Amino acid sequence: MPPRVFGDSFLVLGDTTAAYDLRTGKRKWARKEISGPADTTTVSGNTLFLPGGDYDGTVVGYDIRTGKETWRTRLGGKMTGEVRVAAVDDKRIYVVAVLTDDDIGKRLNAIAAVDIRTREILWQEQRDEGTQDDIALTVGDGHLIYVHGAIDEDVKNLTVRDALTGEQRWNRRIADDEVQPAVFGGMVFVGGDGLLRAVDLKTGRDTWQLSPNGRRGFHRPTVLRGVLYVMDYDCGVWALQPESGKKIWMSEDLGSREFGEWMVRTDDSLYIASYFEQGGIYALSAKDGSYRWNYNDGVEDDAEWQVTAAGNRLLVSHADHLYTLPAV
């Protein structure tokens, strides 16, 4: 996950989770082995929520200003195994928990919402046997939205639940790839090997569809400053109007360079972080998608690049290295 900016500091997860001064880069605090490769910067208020280290259904909260533990709960019931904090809002955390079962051959899991104030489970929904517990989930507009499927099936489903009650609003087959959905303006945007779709959050019906026109489908979409951005599987970058899907521009200036999904934007530029060491950070013009520049540190490490905007600078992480770049 990209560094997370809060106030005059930023937070980085890894083998050592740490907070740094945004101006000087000086480390403010650090804690070892509280986060794993699958964890994300699920922050609500001043608290970072992460799974406990004992794989026993525990979720722990840490004050992002000090690194000290300030919150803890254990889910209980059958949710006493591995747990992942999948999303968070200002009132609830949402977890995917592997369920313990007498039949060791089964791998069952459930989605649950936990009230941050009371630390009690508000609702939980056991999912069908054989469904993946590593699902692409997001929360927005009072709903929980996730793309998921069976372990042995290629076709995925898009499911929307009420975030407060857990009630399923709708479910439909949507894609053949597990791509993180984005939420904006009452719509869900989801890519995959086929179409890029905008789906009405209330009804589950397509608002519009976009074909890749012979290209190989779409990665994770994101909305920045009111514009929908997405990369296709052939390193093309698309800028679209979220309401209609109308193309603002489509750039092939990256050519065959290594692509990524994490994007940030300033007034003039769109920045893309590469998956692979050969790539780095790319800057495109926000006006027309033309190529501007590329940064690579030359470090031979296959760790994914990450980027976050922080005022007139970019925070960049690659492997164990942190950098600041001018946002130009």
Q: Mind listing the pLDDT tens digit for each residue in 48-81? A: 999 988 878 899 999 999 999 999 999 887 777 7
For residue 88, pLDDT over 90 is answered with yes
**DSSP states of 150-162 as a string?**
BTT-S-EEEEEEE
Q: Is residue 149 scored above 70 in pLDDT?
A: no
C-beta of residue 258 within 8 angstroms of C-beta of residue 247: no
In the prediction, which pLDDT does 255 show?
A: 76
Tens digits of residue pLDDT in 94-110: 998 877 665 555 567 78
The answer on pLDDT for 122 being more than 90 is yes
Q: Percentage of the chain with pLDDT > 70?
A: 89
Check residue 177 and give its pLDDT: 60
- pLDDT, position 226: 96
152 pLDDT higher than 60: no
- What backbone torsions phi and psi does residue 283 show, to the nearest 5 degrees? -115, 130
Q: What are phi and psi of 287, to 5 degrees?
A: -80, -45
> Once rounded to an integer, what is the mean pLDDT over residues 297-317?
87
Across residues 224-228, what is the average pLDDT? 96
What is the strand order of the sheet 247-251 is part of? Answer: 222-224, 227-231, 237-240, 247-251
Written as six digits, the tokens of 215 are 């290209």
- Residue 162: strand pairing partners: 143
**Residue 211 pLDDT more than 90?**
no
Amino acid at 158: L
The vertex-75 CA angle with 70 and 81, nearest 5°, equals: 110
pLDDT tens sequence across 173-209 = 876 666 788 999 999 998 876 789 999 999 999 999 9
Which DSSP string corresponds to 7-63?
Answer: TTEEEE-SSEEEEEETTT--EEEEEESS--TT----EETTEEEEE-TTSSSEEEEEE
CATH code of the domain occupying 33-133: 2.40.10.480
Percent of the chain residues topping a pLDDT of 90: 48
- Check residues 314 and 175 and name the one with the higher pLDDT: 314
Of residues 127 and 280, which shows the higher confidence score?
Answer: 280
pLDDT band (50, 70, 90) for residue 133: low
Q: What pLDDT does residue 303 have?
A: 79
Q: What is the pLDDT of residues 286-301, one digit of tens each?
A: 999 999 999 998 888 8
Instruction: With cut-offs at 50, 70 and 90, classify the pLDDT of residue 162.
Output: very high
The chain-wide mean pLDDT, for the chain, equals 86
User: What Å distances lie between residue 263 and 92, 237, 245, 259, 269, CA to CA?
Assistant: 26, 11, 19, 11, 10
State the average pLDDT over residues 134-141.
81
Domain limits of the chain? Answer: 33-133
The pLDDT confidence band at residue 7, using thresholds 50, 70 and 90, is confident
pLDDT at 39 (0 to 100): 77
pLDDT at 212 over 90: no
